[in-house]
A and B are shown apart, each in its own frame.
Chain A
Amino acid sequence: MTRLLALILAPALAVAGLAAPALAQDGPLRIEITEGVVEPLPYAVPDFVAETGDAAQYAQQISRVIADDLTGTGLFREIPRDAHISRVSNFSSPIQFSDWKAINAQALITGAVSSDGAGKLTAKFRVWDVFAGTELGQGMQFSATADGWRRLAHKVADQVYSRITGEGGYFDSRVVFVSETGPKDERAKRLAVMDYDGANVQFLTSSNSIVIAPRFSPNGSRVLYTSYETGEPRIHVLDVGSVQSRMLPTTDGVMSFAPRFSPDGSQLLYSMTRGSNTDIYAMDINSGQTRQLTTAPSIETGASFSPDGSKIVFESDRSGSQQLYVMPVGGGEPTRISFGQGRYGTPVWSPRGDLIAFTKQNAGRFHIGVMRTDGSEERLLTASFLDEGPTWAPNGRVLMFARETQGATGSSSLYTVDVSGRNLKRVRTPDGASDPSWGPLQ
Chain B
Amino acid sequence: MTYLPKVLMLVAGLGLAACTNPDRFGAGDGTGAGGAGYGNGSGVNGGYLDGSASDPRSPAYFNQAIGDRVLFAVDQSTLSADAQATLDAQAQWLMTNSDYLAVIEGHADEQGTREYNIALGARRANAVMEYLISKGVASGRLRQISYGKERPVEVCSQEACYAKNRRAVTVISMGMTS
Given contacts A233-B118, A404-B110, is CB(A385)–CB(B150) below 8 Å?
Answer: no
Instruction: Choose, from B4-12, B29-37, B81-89, the stretch at the interface.
Output: B29-37
Instruction: Choose, from A116-124, A161-169, A207-215, A417-425, the stretch at the interface.
Output: A207-215
Q: What residue of chain B has the Cβ atom nearest to residue A402's Cβ?
A: B114
B111 at the interface (CB under 8 A from A): yes
Given contacts A209-B31, A278-B122, A404-B110, is CB(A346)–CB(B115) below 8 Å?
Answer: yes
Which residues of chain B (110-161) have a CB below 8 Å from chain A?
110-116, 118-120, 122-123, 126-127, 130, 143, 145-147, 150-157
> How long is the Cα–Cα vector from A207 to B150 in the complex, in angstroms?
14
Cβ of B145: which chain A residues have Cβ within 8 Å of it? 231-233, 255
> How long is the Cα–Cα vector from A3 to B119 in the complex, in angstroms?
57
B117 → A minimal CB distance (Å) = 10
Cβ of B35: which chain A residues have Cβ within 8 Å of it? 230-232, 253
Given contacts A273-B146, A275-B126, A278-B119, is CB(A230)–CB(B113) below 8 Å?
Answer: no
Q: What residue of chain A has the Cβ atom nearest to residue B115's Cβ?
A: A258
Given contacts A183-B155, A185-B152, A404-B110, is CB(A257)–CB(B127) below 8 Å?
Answer: no
Cβ of A359: which chain B residues have Cβ within 8 Å of it? 113
Per-position binary interface string of chain A over residues 236-261, scored 1 when its CB falls under 8 Å from any chain B CB and 0 otherwise: 00000000000000000101011000
- A407 near B113 (CB under 8 angstroms)? no
Cβ of B151: which chain A residues have Cβ within 8 Å of it? 185, 210
Which residues of chain A (253-303) have a CB below 8 Å from chain B?
253, 255, 257-258, 271, 273, 275-276, 278, 299, 301-302
Given contacts A276-B127, A361-B111, is CB(A257)–CB(B118) below 8 Å?
Answer: yes
> How long is the Cα–Cα vector from A233 to B150 in the complex, in angstroms?
11
Q: What residue of chain A has the Cβ atom nearest to residue B127's Cβ?
A: A276
Cβ of A210: which chain B residues have Cβ within 8 Å of it? 31, 147, 150-151
B139 → A minimal CB distance (Å) = 11
Interchain CB contact (< 8 A) of A435 among B34, B114, B122:
B114
> How long is the Cα–Cα vector from A317 to B123 in the complex, in angstroms?
12
Cβ of B127: which chain A residues have Cβ within 8 Å of it? 276
B19 at the interface (CB under 8 A from A): yes
Q: What residue of chain B has the Cβ atom nearest to residue A315's Cβ?
A: B116
Interchain CB contact (< 8 A) of B31 among A231, A257, A321, A386:
A231
Cβ of A322: which chain B residues have Cβ within 8 Å of it? 113, 116
- A257 near B115 (CB under 8 angstroms)? yes
A150 → B minimal CB distance (Å) = 30
Q: What residue of chain B has the Cβ atom nearest to residue A410's Cβ?
A: B157
- B155 near A185 (CB under 8 angstroms)? yes
> How long is the Cα–Cα vector from A184 to B154 in the complex, in angstroms?
8
Cβ of B173: which chain A residues have Cβ within 8 Å of it? none
Q: What residue of chain A has the Cβ atom nearest to residue B19's Cβ?
A: A186
Cβ of B113: which chain A residues have Cβ within 8 Å of it? 302, 315, 322, 345-346, 359, 361, 388-389
Given contacts A231-B31, A231-B34, A273-B146, is CB(A389)–CB(B119) below 8 Å?
Answer: no
A339 at the interface (CB under 8 A from B): no
Per-position binary interface string of chain A over residues 3-23, scored 1 when its CB falls under 8 Å from any chain B CB and 0 otherwise: 000000000000000000000
Per-position binary interface string of chain A over residues 208-232, scored 1 when its CB falls under 8 Å from any chain B CB and 0 otherwise: 0110110000000000000010111
- A407 near B115 (CB under 8 angstroms)? no
A406 at the interface (CB under 8 A from B): yes
B63 at the interface (CB under 8 A from A): no
Q: What residue of chain B has the Cβ atom nearest to residue A321's Cβ?
A: B75
A338 → B minimal CB distance (Å) = 13
A408 at the interface (CB under 8 A from B): yes
Q: What residue of chain B has the Cβ atom nearest to residue A182's Cβ?
A: B19
- B115 near A302 (CB under 8 angstroms)? yes
Cβ of B156: which chain A residues have Cβ within 8 Å of it? 407-408
Interchain CB contact (< 8 A) of A407 among B32, B116, B157:
B157
- A408 near B155 (CB under 8 angstroms)? yes
> How long is the Cα–Cα vector from A415 to B109 in the complex, in angstroms?
23
- B126 near A184 (CB under 8 angstroms)? no
- Find the residue from A258, A273, A321, A361 having the highest chain B CB count within 10 A: A273
Cβ of A271: which chain B residues have Cβ within 8 Å of it? 115, 119
B77 at the interface (CB under 8 A from A): yes
Q: What residue of chain B has the Cβ atom nearest to residue A187's Cβ?
A: B150
Cβ of A186: which chain B residues have Cβ within 8 Å of it? 19
Cβ of A408: which chain B residues have Cβ within 8 Å of it? 155-157
Which residues of chain B (31-61) have a CB below 8 Å from chain A?
31-35
> How long is the Cα–Cα vector from A255 to B104 in the complex, in angstroms?
13
Q: What residue of chain A has the Cβ atom nearest to residue B150's Cβ?
A: A210
Which residues of chain A (408-442) have a CB below 8 Å from chain B?
408, 410, 434-435
Per-position binary interface string of chain A over residues 31-53, scored 1 when its CB falls under 8 Å from any chain B CB and 0 otherwise: 00000000000000000000000
- A228 near B31 (CB under 8 angstroms)? yes
> How long is the Cα–Cα vector from A233 to B117 in the complex, in angstroms?
13
Per-position binary interface string of chain A over residues 191-215, scored 1 when its CB falls under 8 Å from any chain B CB and 0 otherwise: 0000000000000000001101100
Cβ of B119: which chain A residues have Cβ within 8 Å of it? 271, 273, 278, 299, 301
A115 → B minimal CB distance (Å) = 45
Which residues of chain A (328-376) have a CB below 8 Å from chain B?
345-346, 359, 361, 364
Interchain CB contact (< 8 A) of A361 among B22, B112, B157:
B112
Residue pairs across A and B with Cβ atoms less than 8 A apart, 6 shown, are A185-B153, A255-B145, A276-B122, A364-B111, A408-B155, A408-B156
Nearest 8 pairs between A and B by C-beta?
Answer: A406-B157, A276-B126, A278-B119, A345-B113, A231-B35, A299-B119, A231-B34, A184-B155
List 9 other contacts, CB 8 Å, given A184-B110, A258-B115. A185-B22, A185-B154, A231-B31, A233-B118, A257-B118, A301-B118, A302-B116, A345-B116, A407-B155
